[in-house]
Amino acid sequence: MAPRRRQVFDVCVVGTGAGGGVMIDELTRAGMSVVALERGPRLGHADFMGHDELSNVIRGTGFAPKLRETLRRDETETAQPRRFSMIGQCVGGSNVHWGAMSWRLRPDEFRALSQDGPIAGASLADWPVDAAEMAPWYDKAEAAYGVAGGAVHNAPRPGRRYPNPPHPPRSGSQVFDRAVRKLGYAPFPIPIAVNSRPYRNRAGCTNSGMCVMFGCPVDAKASPISVGLPRALATGRLDLRPQSLVHELAIDDTGRIRAARYLDARGDQHEVRARQFVLAGGSLGSAHLLLMSRSGRFRDGLANGSGLVGRNLMYHVLPAVYYLHETVTRGWLGPISGQAIDDLHASDPARGFVRGAVVTEAYPATPIVYATSAGGLWGAALKDYLRQFNRVHALIGIGEDLPVHGNRVDLDPTHTDASGLPVWRITHAHHANDLKLKAYYERKMTEIAAAAGAERSWVVDMTQGSTGHFMGTCRMGADPEKSVLDRWCRSHEVDNLWVVDGGCFPTSGGYNPTLTIVANAYRVADHFAREARRLNLR
């Protein structure tokens, strides 16, 4: 048998989150040998039982202890080290600690440019795929992830139900339900990829809370570690290598990728060879790796002839309103779930901005998350604020933010990580349209709070906090000058390079992005396997 370092795998997948998990699962199932390189450790149920808010939300030691990054608003500033990204760097990626809200995009969200025309200061684009092409892959993603809910939202044909029924309601949901009905809106259960009953060898949720920002100790929450990776490992064709930090994709004389170079937990250098390379490190991680992979042929980073690698970084704008009500919420029980309305979503320039948002319940479900909304309160006022935890109801909008050329991730010129590699630098300022959208939804959510009979309500500004919804940086499109990837998430320039994560999104859509990442990965994996069978992949 050939020694391990000589082996040439069919496929090397870098990153094991929502996109990589699907690719690994589908390609091993199709008979290919896959090596998966994951920078973080492989966590398990015992780790998730031991996690708490201090480790996961505040210190990041639970999911991303080695994360280093810098942040600035524009090119004139010097980026400062700061913990900003709520991402998971472990086997399963951010999909392990996600909130599990699982939405299909609306048809118009695949063609924002056609619908709303060019917008000054934004780089709006249509997706190279539409809702009709995505529909069967959404079906597949919802089935694999066991999404719980009522009628499938944004399904092309009415009548389709999610594979699992909705989760039982919490007391706070009744308050939301009455309020929005009074205003003429139509509430419905948020579709959520947490089992509401035992499903496909995974347990049902025990409603124990501590869900978003936590791993699931019973595998009721869908992610690669509960869905795709166990199957892939069972094929015997997956070589899963945790704690393998890929820092360079090395090319051969013809400009194809020859090998991935990575550092193991001890900092020792390794190289793994494969015929095809799938990047799935997330919008930040994948762009970061391409930009680190410079060579004579690719001076500005691999596959970056367009100059767009890292650009058009989006992460949603999140209008939020909290309100105090006599009814205890019990928001700390169950998965995140709850009710949503989507009556205010459709883009309407008459509102003074374009694009839109879904509006959902989103309780501050754990003590520290709630307490961080207390601003600078101290003394008796802080204590009273803490006492109100169980009666504070919350609304959040997932606002579609516009892609902006100057919003980007690149290599920080001074800061390095523990291995001496340049950290990623985020340069981001919201487009004026984002802030108008935010203000509009804050007004609408304040109306809902009033209709609920709130004792008082207040806006919570989430633009100062952190986010996990990273999208863009490797947009797909038909034109190699205006996009990084083609419609199959394959590089226009390097024929054995694919990027299958949120990076391919040309625009962000007004919903949590993960189900679209998963569905798109199924679409790409199907094409990939067909091309392999036709011997079109070398």
Partner 1 sequence: MDQPARRDFVRTLGVCLVAMQLPRPLTALAAARGTEPASLARAEWRCVEAICAEIIPTDRDPGAAEAGCANFIDKALAAEDAQALPLYREALAAIDALCVDAHGHAFADLDGAWRQRVLTAMEQGTLTGWTAQMARAQDFFATIRFHALLGFIADPKYGGNRDYAGWKLMGFPGPLHMVGGVTPEQMIGRQPVMPVWATTANDGHGGGHR
**Is the CA virtual torsion 298, 300, 306, 310 positive or negative?**
positive
Residue 287 beta carbon to partner 1: minimum distance, rounded to whole angstroms:
22
Residue 206 beta carbon to partner 1: minimum distance, rounded to whole angstroms:
3
Q: Reduce the DSSP state of residue 446 to 3 states and report it.
A: helix
Residue 209 lies near partner 1 (rule: CB under 8 A): yes
Judged by CB, which is closer to partner 1: 77, or 130? Answer: 77
Q: Are strands 269-279 and 8-14 parallel, antiparallel or unpaired?
A: parallel
Q: H-helix or E-strand containing 173?
A: helix 171-182
The single-letter code of the amino acid at 52 is D
Instruction: Name the one residue in this structure whose structure tokens are 């149920």.
Output: 45
Residue 82 lies near partner 1 (rule: CB under 8 A): yes
- Contact string 161-180 vs partner 1 (x = CB under 8 A): -------xxxx--x------
Contacts of partner 1 in 187-206 (CB under 8 A): 206
Residue 346 lies near partner 1 (rule: CB under 8 A): no
> Is residue 478 within 8 Å of residue 487, measured between CB atoms?
yes
> Is residue 198 within 8 Å of residue 204, measured between CB atoms?
yes
Q: Reduce the DSSP state of residue 41 to 3 states and report it.
A: coil
Residue 386 lies near partner 1 (rule: CB under 8 A): yes
**Binding footprint of partner 1, residue count (CB under 8 A):** 54
Residue 330 lies near partner 1 (rule: CB under 8 A): yes
Residue 75 lies near partner 1 (rule: CB under 8 A): no
Using CB under 8 A, pick the residue from 9, 63, 332, 522 that binds partner 1: 332
Please calculate the CA angle 131-137-141 and round it to the nearest 5 degrees: 125
Residues present in the chain in total: 538
Residue 382 lies near partner 1 (rule: CB under 8 A): yes
Contacts of partner 1 in 403-422 (CB under 8 A): 418
Judged by CB, which is closer to partner 1: 56, or 154? Answer: 56
Return the range that interacts with partner 1 (CB under 8 A); candidates 222-230, 378-386, 450-458, 486-494. 378-386
- Kindly report the backbone phi and psi dihedral angles of residue 305, in degrees, each rounded to the nearest multiple of 5, phi listed first: -60, -30
How far apart CA 361 and CA 125 sit, in angstroms, is 30
How far apart CA 100 and CA 192 sit, in angstroms, is 5
Judged by CB, which is closer to partner 1: 350, or 380? Answer: 380
Residue 366 lies near partner 1 (rule: CB under 8 A): yes
> Is residue 489 within 8 Å of residue 531, measured between CB atoms?
no
Return the range that interacts with partner 1 (CB under 8 A); candidates 59-67, 106-114, 435-443, 487-495. 59-67
Using CB under 8 A, pick the residue from 16, 19, 28, 51 that binds partner 1: 51
Q: Torsion over CA of 502, 503, 507 and 508, rounded to 10 degrees?
A: 30
The site for partner 1 (CB under 8 A) is made up of 46, 49-54, 58-61, 65, 67-68, 71, 80-83, 168-171, 174, 206-210, 217-218, 328, 330, 332-334, 366-368, 370-371, 374, 376, 378-380, 382-383, 386-387, 389-390, 418, 464
